Amino acid sequence: MSGNKGLLDSNVIIDASKGIVSTQDIVNEYDYLYTSIISYVETQGYNFEDNEEKEIVNQILNSVEIVNLNKEIADTAIDYRKQKKIKLPDALILATAKHIKADLLTSDISDFQNIDKSVKLVEPKKNDK
The domains found in the chain, sorted by start residue, are 5-122 (3.40.50.1010)
Position 128 scores a pLDDT of 76
Q: For 33-38, what is the mean pLDDT?
A: 98
The whole-number pLDDT of residue 97 equals: 98
106: confidence class by pLDDT, cuts 50, 70, 90: very high
Answer yes or no: is pLDDT of 57 > 50.
yes
The full length of the chain comes to 129
Q: How confident is the model at residue 129 (pLDDT cuts 50, 70, 90)?
A: low
Closest to 66 in 3D by CA, of 92, 44, 40, 32: 40
Alpha helix segments (H runs only) across 1-129: 10-17, 23-29, 37-44, 51-63, 71-83, 88-100
